[in-house]
C-alpha cells in the first residue's frame, strides 16, 4: 500500500481507476478504515479516479501522539491531493469524515468541485462525551467500544441479514489503535463548524440516515438550512448508510455530481 507523510503521520491510501478521470476522495468514519467504501469504489471506479485513505490513527495509517484537531484532519486531505498532484476533486466523507468535509468546504473551496457530507453534523455530540470516550479507550482499549458498535452503526434487520459485513467492521474497530481512536475523539470534542457554514459557496450534498441515532436528520436539516444552496437526501438507514443502503447512497451521489 502506498503511503505519504502528512504532519508527522504516515497516511495509508489507495487509488482505483484512471487518473485522467475526475477525482473523488473518500474519508472514513471514526473507528473504521478505507475498506468501508468498497461499494462506492466498485460503483464509481469506471468513470472516476477514486482515492481512499485511512484517517490518521486508523487502519494502516500511523497514530502520532495526540491530541488531534479538525484542522489537522483536513490538512491531511489537502496534503494527499497535493501528493497526487490533483488540483481539484470531489470530496465524500461520513461521520468524522463528514465534519472534515465541512471544514474543507469552508477553508479550501478552490480544491473541490462538490462536497458530500454523510451521517454527520456541524457539531457532533458533546465535548465531555468525547473526552470521556477518549479516556475510556486509553484505559480499556477498543474492545468494549467494538462490542457495542454494530447497534450504533446499523439497523437490527441489517445486522441480522449481513453478519459478515457487520463482523468485519466491528473486528476492524477492535483491532485498531487505541491512541489513534482516542486522539480523534479529542478532535471531535472540539470540532464545531457551525459558525462558518453560511460562508460555504460550493455545492454541498448532505446525506442523513432516517434511523441514525448518532447524527440525526435534524442535524442534516440544520446543515441544509445554513449552507447556501445545499441539498439534503434522507436515506432509510442508520449511521453507516453507505453500506446499509449502498445502492441508494451511490445513486444519490451520482445524481448530484453529474
Give the CATH number, domain containing residue 242.
3.40.50.1820
CB 194 within 8 A of CB 122: yes
User: Residue 66 above 90 pLDDT?
Assistant: no
Instruction: Of 228, 248, 227, 235, give the one whose Cα is nearest residue 208.
Output: 235
Full domain range(s) for residue 32: 3-257
pTM summary value: 0.97
Tally of structural domains, the chain: 1
List phi, psi (to 5°) of 123.
-145, 110
- What is the chain's alpha carbon radius of gyration, rounded to the nearest angstrom? 17
Q: How many CB atoms lie within 10 A of CB 195?
A: 10
- SS3 for 3? strand
Instruction: Of 26, 8, 30, 7, give the one whose Cα is nearest residue 181.
Output: 30
Length of the chain: 258
Q: At 113, which helix (H) or strand (E)? A: strand 112-118
| Residue 203 cell numbers, joined | 455545492
Q: What tens digit of pLDDT does each residue of 22-34 get? A: 999 999 999 999 9
Q: How confident is the model at residue 67 (pLDDT cuts 50, 70, 90)?
A: confident
The β-bridge partners of 94 are 118
Looking at 12-16, 64-68, 102-106, 201-205, which range is the least confident one? Answer: 64-68
Amino acid at each position: 500500500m502506498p503511503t505519504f507523510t502528512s504532519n508527522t503521520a504516515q497516511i495509508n491510501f489507495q487509488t482505483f481507476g484512471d487518473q485522467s478521470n475526475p477525482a473523488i476522495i473518500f474519508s472514513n468514519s471514526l473507528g473504521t478504515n478505507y475498506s468501508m467504501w468498497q461499494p462506492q469504489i466498485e460503483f464509481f471506479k469506471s468513470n472516476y479516479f477514486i482515492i481512499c485513505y485511512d484517517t490518521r490513527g486508523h487502519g494502516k495509517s500511523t497514530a502520532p501522539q495526540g491530541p488531534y484537531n479538525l484542522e489537522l484532519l483536513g490538512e491531511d486531505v489537502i496534503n494527499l491531493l497535493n501528493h497526487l498532484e490533483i488540483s481539484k476533486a470531489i470530496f465524500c466523507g461520513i461521520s468524522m469524515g463528514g465534519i472534515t468535509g465541512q471544514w474543507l468546504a469552508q477553508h479550501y473551496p478552490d480544491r473541490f468541485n462538490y462536497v458530500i457530507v454523510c451521517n454527520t453534523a456541524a457539531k457532533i455530540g458533546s465535548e465531555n462525551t468525547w473526552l470521556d470516550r477518549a479516556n475510556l479507550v486509553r484505559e480499556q482499549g477498543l474492545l468494549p467500544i467494538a462490542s457495542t458498535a454494530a447497534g450504533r452503526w446499523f439497523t437490527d434487520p441489517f445486522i441480522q441479514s449481513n453478519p459478515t459485513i457487520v463482523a468485519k467492521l466491528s473486528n476492524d474497530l477492535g483491532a485498531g489503535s487505541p491512541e489513534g481512536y482516542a486522539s480523534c475523539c479529542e478532535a471531535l470534542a472540539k470540532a464545531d463548524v457551525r459558525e462558518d457554514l453560511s460562508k460555504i459557496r460550493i455545492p454541498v450534498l448532505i446525506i442523513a440516515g432516517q434511523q441514525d441515532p448518532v447524527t440525526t436528520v435534524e442535524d442534516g436539516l440544520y446543515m441544509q438550512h445554513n449552507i447556501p444552496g445545499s441539498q439534503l437526501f434522507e436515506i432509510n438507514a442508520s449511521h453507516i448508510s453507505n453500506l446499509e443502503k449502498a445502492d441508494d447512497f451511490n445513486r444519490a451521489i451520482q445524481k448530484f455530481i453529474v
